[in-house]
Structure 1
Amino acid sequence: MDTLLFDLDGTLLDTNPLIIASFRHTLGYYFPDETYRDEDIFPFIGPTLEKSFKALNEPEWKEMQAFYRSFNIAMHDQLVAEYPGVIEGLYRLHAKGYKMGVVTSKGRPVVERGLRLFNIDHLFDVVVTADDVVYEKPHAEPVERALRALGSTADRAVMVGDNDTDIFSGKNAGTKTVAVGWALKGRAFLEALEPDVIIDSMEHFEAWLDEVTVHA
């Protein structure tokens, strides 16, 4: 393995509080008579905003998308946090010479803001966002686009994520797949996706990479 592709939200950065707050703010405005628990919002985490708001059968989905983004950007730096050990792990992997990329269903401006906020933007040779593809995850296109940009192939690559869209995008592109054990939706959800491995820490990920490389 020489190529590592990472989802962003819920994988490298803990954006879940921001995403949940943004959805609650938006849904509360457009559906003031409804009450939304965190569990009600979980299904919206992973797909693009367009897909999430269209699923509500709302003719105002474009307006809702803009409303969400306005709040999300305003609260971004306040609510986004690090996962313990993840950023340090990224620096170690970069130092080992892995080709590294981000593959996300978010728009480019907020993705770049998050990467800059934690000073990890320079660690990645490619960033593929929802703005760069016709078909978003779980389609293979985002992963395949990242592989082409890195001059890599699926048999040498790993897709790392916290959601079904990440794992299935990797599977569809032919890469190995890694689920992060700190995913919001829990271990049972991850196990049902049948990734190659579920990691509990970046050290666990590094040990797994060493093992896979030895047996390649």
Structure 2
Amino acid sequence: MAVKALLFDFDGTLLNTNDLIIQTFMHVLEERFPGQYSSKDCLNFIGPSLKQTFSDIAPGEEDAMMAKYRTWNVLHHDELVTDYPDVVATLEHLKSMGIQLAIVSTKRNEMIDRGLGVLGATHLFDVRIGTDDVKNVKPNPEPVLLALERLGVAKEDAIMIGDNSHDIEAGHNAGVKAAGVAWSIRGADYLLQFKPEYMLQAMTDLIDIVKEG
């Protein structure tokens, strides 16, 4: 295997949006279900699509709940997201090595672009796949396979990287190796259950992984 492409989840992998996501869910849920949910409960909602989450929580109310979520989330996005160490510098290094980079996320393209702008990494990605591009989100392999198709890269030459079970499972379901990130809010031990081929302790670990091929 020669690594030619790296596919990244976005939230919780490249940009720390955990506080933003948890606070947004708490805002929406506290209004609809006062006192029924805690911040810890919201950890379960990080990873799945909004539609899937709200379908489980409030069947039939998904559209209204999603609209409230998005309104608050957009309003507070830039103030509540934070950087992870070495992300942009590592992406720039990988790019200079000739590695193609893609985003494979369960959020809308508009918000991926917003986050990339805050991160200062818009120019580094060849492809970005959001919910607007697919019928089925992770852990379904569709978004990973679409990213590979648009990159023109074979599955054996790519790695899917993320902070959630959905990322690792989507990679494996698409026949792609997967890497978990130890800075996941759920922790490395949680991710190891899903048997990623790699566990990144730091973003810079990717440079050695690519070199070793």
Whether 1:140 and 2:141 are equivalent positions in the alignment is yes
1:22 alignment partner in structure 2: 24
Supply the distance in 2 between the matched residues of 1:188 and 1:71 (Cα, whole angstroms).
32
TM-score normalised per structure 1: 0.95
Q: Aligned-pair distance for 1:57?
A: 3.6
Output the CA distance in 2 between the equivalents of 1:164 and 1:120: 25
Offset of residue 171 of structure 1: 0.4
**Map of 1:67 onto structure 2:** 68
| Partner of residue 131, structure 2 | 130
Task: Give the alignment's TM-score, normalised by structure 2.
Answer: 0.96
Shift of 1:58: 3.2
Alignment partners' CA distance in 1, 2:33 and 2:78: 27
Q: Deviation digits for residues 156-186 of structure 1, max 9, x if unmatched?
A: 0000000011001100111110001100001
Secondary structure at the counterpart of residue 160 of structure 2:
strand
Matched, 1:97 2:104: no
Residues 80-132 of structure 1 show CA distances to partners (whole Å, capped at 9, x for unaligned) of: 11001112111111111101100000011111111112220110010000110
Residue 108 of structure 2 is matched in structure 1 by 107
Shift of 1:207: 1.3
CA distance in 2, matches of 1:45, 1:176: 22
Superposition deviation, residue 17 in structure 1: 0.6
* Residue of structure 2 equivalent to 1:159: 160
SS of aligned partner of 1:143: helix
Distance 1:203 1:117 in 2: 20
- How far did residue 155 of structure 1 move? 0.6
Which position in structure 2 is the counterpart of 1:172? 173
In 2, the alpha carbon distance for the partners of 1:149 and 1:166 equals 19
**SS of equivalent residue, structure 1 residue 208:** helix
What secondary structure, in the 3-state scheme, does the structure 2 residue paired with 1:18 have?
helix
RMSD, aligned CA = 1.0
Structure 1 stretch 54-63 or stretch 10-19: which is displaced more? 54-63
Counterpart amino acid of residue 6 in structure 2: L
Counterparts of 2:71 and 2:153 in 1: how far apart (Å)? 37
**Cα distance in 2 between the residues matched to 1:73 and 1:57:** 22
1:48-79, CA deviations, whole angstroms, 9 ceiling, x for partnerless residues? Answer: 00000001143222101000000000000001
The whole-number CA distance in structure 1 between the counterparts of 2:192 and 2:29 is 30
Q: Distance in 2 between matches of 1:61 and 1:143?
A: 25
**What 5-or-longer segments of structure 1 have no aligned partner?**
none
1:31 to 30, 33, 39: 33
* Structure 1 partner of 2:121: 120
Between the aligned partners of 1:109 and 1:73, the Cα distance in structure 2 is 10
* Structure 2 unaligned regions, length at least 5: none
Name the % identity. Answer: 40
Q: What is the rounded CA distance, in whole Å, between the counterparts of 1:159 and 1:33 in structure 2? A: 37
User: After the TM superposition, which parts of structure 1 deviate over 2 Å for at least 4 consecutive aligned residues?
Assistant: none
- Letter aligned with residue 51 of structure 2: E
CA offset at residue 202 of structure 1?
A: 1.9
| Aligned residue identity for 1:50 | K
Instruction: Measure the CA separation in 2 of the matches of 1:187 and 1:4.
Output: 20
